[in-house]
Amino acid sequence: MQIRIVITITLVSTIAGCTAQFTGGKSKAFEPGNVPDTVVALAGPGQDLATARLLPEDNCFWYEHSGPVETTLVPLRATNGAPICAARDA
């Protein structure tokens, strides 16, 4: 019985040590409110720049729109209506 417990504990510890741990290394560019001054200058009115962030999936800036029911991420748009995206690395 004790051998079974020891094997179980060892197995669980080994598996837990093999999981990916995401505790750091996150770029400041992806944090809410960390928007470059050039993006602030491009952004159209009525958008919450305090919640704006760069999403790595599409390399564009998004902000949180708080509606009456839920809060949704919406693309940050320039005054001409075009989405604001960062240049991709070649």
Domains of the chain, by residue range, sit at: 26-90
Closest by Cα among 12, 18, 63 to 42: 63
- Residue 86's H or E segment, with its range, is none
Determine the 3-state secondary structure of 62 from DSSP.
strand
Between 63 and 21, residue with greater pLDDT: 63
pLDDT tens-digit profile of 26-36?
Answer: 555 566 667 89
CB 76 within 8 A of CB 39: yes
pLDDT tens-digit profile of 26-74?
Answer: 555 566 667 899 999 999 999 999 999 999 999 999 999 999 999 999 9
